[in-house]
Copies of this chain bind each other. A is one copy, B any other.
Amino acid sequence: MPMGTAVNIYETGLDKNAANFAQLTPLSFIERAASVYPRREAVVYGAVRRTWAETYARTRQLADALIKRGMGPGDTVSVVAGNIPEMFEAHFGVPMSGAVLNTINTRLDAEAIAFILVHAEAKVVIVDPEFSEVTDRAIKMTGRSMLVVDILDPTFKGGRRVGGITYDELLAEGSPDAGWRQPADEWAAISLNYTSGTTGDPKGVVYHHRGAFLNAAGNIITWGMPAHPRYLWTLPMFHCNGWCFPWTIAAASGTALCLRAVRAEPIYELIKTEKADHFCGAPIVLNMLANAPAPLKEGINHKVKVMTAGAAPPAAVIENMERLGFEVTHVYGLTETYGPSVVCAWHDEWNVLDASEKARLKARQGVRNTMLDGLMVANPLTMEPCPSDGVTIGEIFMRGNNVMRGYLKNPSSTDKSFDGGWFHSGDLGVMHPDGYIEIKDRSKDIIISGGENISSIEVEDVLYKHPAVMEAAVVARPDEKWGETPCAFVMLKDGAETTEDEIMEFCRSHMAKFKAPRTIVFGPLPKTSTGKIQKFLLREQARSLGA
């Protein structure tokens, strides 16, 4: 039998050409949505209702106007905006000009925004009136000249014009029939997202067209999403490009239901009146919805699917949402992985378990999504995978096409984060025997008490089970005897009453005693714009309580 041919017959005369190779880009999704479903609703925002044909025309105008003003590959266009139609359009129009979209966290102060504008070398800044003051101050701090574009939003009261041109005036400079720039390579940058980083300067995470295309398609597969979802924008679009969902909505020819204020009332309103059937949000948003007044929650007659991530959701929060009839999918990821790239894939045999057991399983972070190539829990020094015992804590590592290109102008952080050929998430977790990972903590959130590791998440999980607790966060408090002890910050539900002692006793009766908090502080918790509790502030506060 002749084996091992000298010439590989499959490598001769079968090259790439214009007919059989195209650069992957999520921009192809809007072109398709506009050509197949031109009259379908693409964007809804109060009285504004635009079809895919209209939205695509506006994005082409935006791209053409930016090109005419000299924008192209290598240039950055920043946007400081809420979840409004212009923000959605920017996800297409900016990269269609060849430039890179930089959406900025709207909760940042002027100093942080200025840092980003300078670091990203932004040449254009598009500003929502809600953030006009802070952005204006930031731009002045940079001492640089840039094109500042004011979005006018008649539904928003307040703010002022801070730029030289309005968004609609900029659009008018472009033609709706103009061609736009396909990326020269699918590896080309499409967007730049700064991580909120609780210490040090923020790092600019660079996404490419290939990864955005794949993760946008992956969202559909992960969620088993049908055609034409009505997607409610409860997750900020500035956060990992809204987990790539602007592009997912275009791929599924769905409708983007825009929303400026993430409050229970308008969310339930849009679920009912606009038949929103999919939304994403941090556990804190789910918690708010679960604890909303009963009349708001009544009258939903269709299936609503929720994707949650951003922090390990307490099992009780998941349980509450499902009791309301919402189907919760728990996903996990980081800015560096295009948002969620890990999913707690459900097993039918879990359906027979009781609600709290189901919620416990669902609170695990899970397995790689179909687009992620690798996921492991390993020793960060040796890169040796931890045993799948559900106990041994290691660092979580990912690799694949939905891992960022790297940090902009930061080769040392980039190299460090990719050391050993895997992306270092900085999250600590375990691998369960069934191959599901579960986060135990951020490295810096582990509490070491008397030499024992205590997962702050585990303590929080117990606190959330207490009927009076609305929100809870646990950090380390310095302790002369133990080194550290758990210190819990707790916000109670409206009208609920309890005591420090009662809460501590509840914890001791639900977990190993050494893990129970030794200190309880009542009051509201400081949060980031994405609903993450700002533990670094709580840590400072705990330190100030003394050892």
Chain A residues with CB under 8 Å of chain B are 1-5, 7-22, 24, 28-29, 32, 35-37, 69-75, 100, 121, 123, 145-147, 187-189, 206, 217, 220-221, 224-228, 251-253, 345-348, 367-368, 370, 373-374, 398-401, 403-406, 408-411, 414, 417-418, 421-423, 435
Contact = CB atoms under 8 A, between A and B. Distances in A.
A324 to B, nearest CB: 22
B399 A20 contact: yes
A29 B370 contact: yes
Nearest to A226: B224
B188 A19 contact: no
A18 B345 contact: no
Contacts of A251: 221, 370
Contacts of A69: 3
B35 A414 contact: no
A12 to B, nearest CB: 7
Contacts of A4: 70, 72
Nearest to A18: B421
A403 B1 CA distance: 33
Given A1-B147, A73-B8, A251-B221, A19 B367 contact: no
6 contacts: A1-B70, A5-B74, A12-B409, A18-B422, A20-B406, A22-B399
A145 B1 contact: yes
A411 B14 CA distance: 8
> Which 8 A-B residue pairings sit nearest by Cβ, starting from the closest?
A18-B421, A8-B74, A3-B70, A22-B373, A224-B226, A10-B189, A14-B405, A13-B411
Nearest to A336: B20
B73 A121 contact: no
Contacts of A2: 123, 145
B13 A367 contact: no
A406 B14 contact: yes
A189 B37 CA distance: 35
A28 B75 contact: no
Contact of A13 (B73, B189, B401, B414): B414
Contacts of A10: 73-74, 100, 188-189, 206, 405, 408
Contacts of A17: 418, 421
Contacts of A71: 3
Contact of A435 (B36, B206, B368): B36
Contacts of A422: 18-19
B146 A1 contact: yes
Given A19-B421, A423-B20, A217 B14 contact: no
Given A20-B403, A35-B367, 13 more contacts: A1-B145, A3-B123, A5-B121, A9-B409, A10-B189, A14-B189, A14-B408, A22-B400, A22-B401, A37-B345, A221-B221, A221-B251, A253-B345
Contacts of A221: 217, 220-221, 251-252
A21 B414 CA distance: 14
